[in-house]
């Protein structure tokens, strides 16, 4: 090989080496740009920040002084987001509108199907030298628009390849941001729902507390009516068959003189707790309380049943009361509990009393049946349980009864026959 041939061979080798070096430089530039831009756009989960970082890094790596990115809703054609840097229009309105028109252009729309063809200058607004459309979701598309390079070179096919890769990464990052924003929205919604649930549970706790406290003072029947229809008014009084039990502590005034207030309260609480257990076990409804007694209603629809329940409750009270003395330690001997029962029709329901201080509601049974039960109860002595003939006739097959004769009751015209259980 002569010298001329050797020189030609070296020249070609150097040319090939130059091409290889240029390709390596291009690839290094692409990789560095991709790394820089990706590092910025994936460092945030806020779409506005992602768009701005992507635009700034792309402009910096391509040596561009101006550009913008926008996203647009496909159906409404409304621009969702717009980020602009370095272009002349200070308020961005003309850039925003020009970007929207570019996305609506059929040629640019077609480039979305072609995998992101680089759009070279045509009818671009001043300062824009290339534009690359991209699809984010079926309902959202976007546009990356860049100004001229500072070195004055046009955008090449290599530039298109790099820009497509950058935009693909941008799309992934925007999808991640959307997912994060949706998760954040759902979490905020969940937190709001949890807060509402906590408030609702707190209201339930308060209502349950109110219910528990009211049950100590309100007849069970009234509580049930309110639970069944909390917003409705209490039903009007109606005539109904009931058995009425009056419970009275014998010699209560004398006991009050012997005991202090705290000791008296302890005794009454112990006895009345036993009374309540016996009454509720037999479906009774404590209607009124006084210092030494109770008025209890039994209003099962079956006449025999409400009388039997009243007598069973009375006998249970009598039995249990005799054992309390051992538990108390305050009394020298058990309290004597006297009881009277009458059965029949009574006006049962709510009654409203008006005065200048306001109105007060009470729920009770009114009429002769109640009055006679109270009078019979006042006749009882020595811990006896006395019944009217109306009650005795209903329970005589279940209990052993002793007739005591006829008695004149206060404010009752006819003498009443009384029985002892």
| pLDDT value of residue 185 | 82
**What span, in angstroms and rounded, lies between the C-alpha atoms of 373 and 390?**
11
Backbone phi, then psi, for 94, in 5-degree steps? -70, -40
What is the 8-class DSSP label of residue 78? -
**What span, in angstroms and rounded, lies between the C-alpha atoms of 295 and 290?**
9
Domain boundaries, the chain: 3-182, 238-420
Q: Residue 173: name the closest of 31, 49, 29, 30 by CA.
A: 49
Give 10-residue mean pLDDT values along the chain (421 residues): 65 64 53 52 71 86 87 88 74 73 64 53 70 86 88 84 83 81 81 84 70 55 59 70 89 68 72 80 80 81 94 90 63 78 88 65 79 91 92 94 90 88 91
Angle of the 47-62 helix axis to the 157-214 helix axis, nearest 10: 160
Contacts of 13 (CB under 8 A, 6+ apart): none
Structure tokens belonging to residue 193: 């729902």
Give the number of C-alpha atoms closer than 13 A to the C-alpha of residue 344, restricted to the C-beta side. Answer: 15
Give the β-pairing of 140-146 and 130-137.
antiparallel
Give the number of C-alpha atoms closer than 13 A to the C-alpha of residue 419, restricted to the C-beta side. Answer: 19
Q: How many other CB atoms sit within 10 Å of the CB of residue 410?
A: 9
**What span, in angstroms and rounded, lies between the C-alpha atoms of 189 and 200?**
16
Q: Reduced to 3 states, what is the DSSP secondary structure of residue 358?
A: strand
Count how many residues are written for the chain. Answer: 421
| Among the four given CATH numbers 3.40.630.30, 3.30.70.1230, 2.40.170.20, 2.60.40.2220, the one describing domain 238-420 | 3.30.70.1230
Calculate the alpha carbon distances from 172 to 121, 168, 176, 272, 312 in Å.
27, 6, 6, 75, 80
| Among the four given CATH numbers 3.40.1280.10, 2.40.30.10, 3.30.450.40, 3.40.50.720, the one describing domain 3-182 | 3.30.450.40
Contacts of 6 (CB under 8 A, 6+ apart): none
Can you list the alpha helix ranges (DSSP code H) found in 282-408?
303-328, 368-379, 389-395
**What span, in angstroms and rounded, lies between the C-alpha atoms of 172 and 40?**
13
Give, for 143, the enclosing helix (H) or strand (E).
strand 140-146
| pLDDT value of residue 111 | 55
**What span, in angstroms and rounded, lies between the C-alpha atoms of 17 and 346?**
117
Contacts of 144 (CB under 8 A, 6+ apart): 54, 55, 58, 67, 69, 131, 132, 133, 134, 163, 167, 170
Contact call for residues 108 and 128 (beta carbons, < 8 A): no
Angle at 87 (CA atoms; ends 82, 92), nearest 5 degrees: 40
Q: Reduced to 3 states, what is the DSSP secondary structure of residue 113?
A: helix
Contact call for residues 365 and 287 (beta carbons, < 8 A): yes
Task: Give the rounded distance of the alpha carbon of 156 from its chain centre.
Answer: 60
Q: Reduced to 3 states, what is the DSSP secondary structure of residue 330?
A: coil
Structure tokens belonging to residue 391: 């009650």
């Amino acid at each position: 090989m002569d010298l001329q041939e050797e020189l030609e061979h070296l020249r070609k080798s150097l040319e090939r080496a130059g091409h290889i070096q240029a390709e390596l430089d291009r690839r290094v530039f692409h990789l560095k740009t991709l790394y820089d831009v990706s590092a910025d756009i994936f460092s945030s989960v806020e779409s506005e920040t992602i768009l701005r970082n992507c635009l700034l890094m792309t402009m910096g790596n391509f040596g561009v002084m101006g550009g913008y990115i926008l996203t647009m809703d496909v159906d409404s054609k409304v621009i969702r987001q717009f980020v602009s840097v370095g272009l002349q229009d200070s308020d961005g309105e003309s850039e925003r509108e020009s970007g929207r028109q570019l996305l609506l252009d059929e040629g640019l729309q077609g480039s979305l199907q072609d995998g992101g063809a680089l759009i070279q200058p045509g009818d671009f607004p001043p300062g824009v030298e290339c534009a690359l459309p991209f699809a984010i979701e079926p309902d959202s598309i976007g546009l990356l628009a860049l100004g001229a390079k500072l070195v004055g070179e046009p955008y090449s096919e290599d530039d298109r390849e790099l820009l497509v890769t950058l935009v693909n990464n941008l799309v992934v990052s925007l999808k991640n941001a959307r997912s994060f924003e949706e998760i954040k929205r759902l979490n905020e919604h969940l937190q709001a729902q949890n807060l509402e649930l906590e408030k609702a549970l707190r209201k339930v706790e308060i209502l349950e507390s109110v219910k528990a406290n009211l049950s100590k003072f309100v007849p069970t029947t009234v509580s049930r009516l309110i639970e069944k229809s909390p917003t409705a008014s209490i039903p009007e009084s109606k005539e109904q068959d009931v058995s009425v039990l009056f419970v009275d502590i014998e010699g209560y005034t004398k006991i009050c003189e012997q005991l202090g207030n705290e000791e008296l309260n302890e005794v009454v609480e112990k006895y009345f707790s036993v009374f309540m257990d016996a009454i509720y076990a037999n479906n009774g409804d404590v209607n009124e309380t006084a210092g030494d007694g109770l008025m209890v209603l039994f209003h099962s629809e079956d006449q025999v049943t409400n009388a039997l329940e009243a007598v069973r409750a009375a006998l249970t009270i009598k039995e249990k009361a005799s054992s309390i003395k051992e538990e108390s330690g305050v009394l020298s001997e058990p309290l004597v509990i006297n009881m009277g029962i009458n059965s029949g029709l009574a006006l049962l329901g709510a009654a409203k009393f008006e005065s200048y201080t306001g109105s007060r509601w009470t729920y009770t049974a009114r009429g002769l049946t109640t009055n006679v039960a109270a009078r019979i109860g006042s006749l009882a002595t020595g811990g006896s349980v006395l019944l009217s003939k109306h009650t005795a006739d209903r329970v005589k097959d279940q209990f052993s009864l002793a007739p005591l004769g006829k008695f004149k009751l206060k404010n009752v015209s006819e003498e009443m026959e009384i029985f002892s259980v």
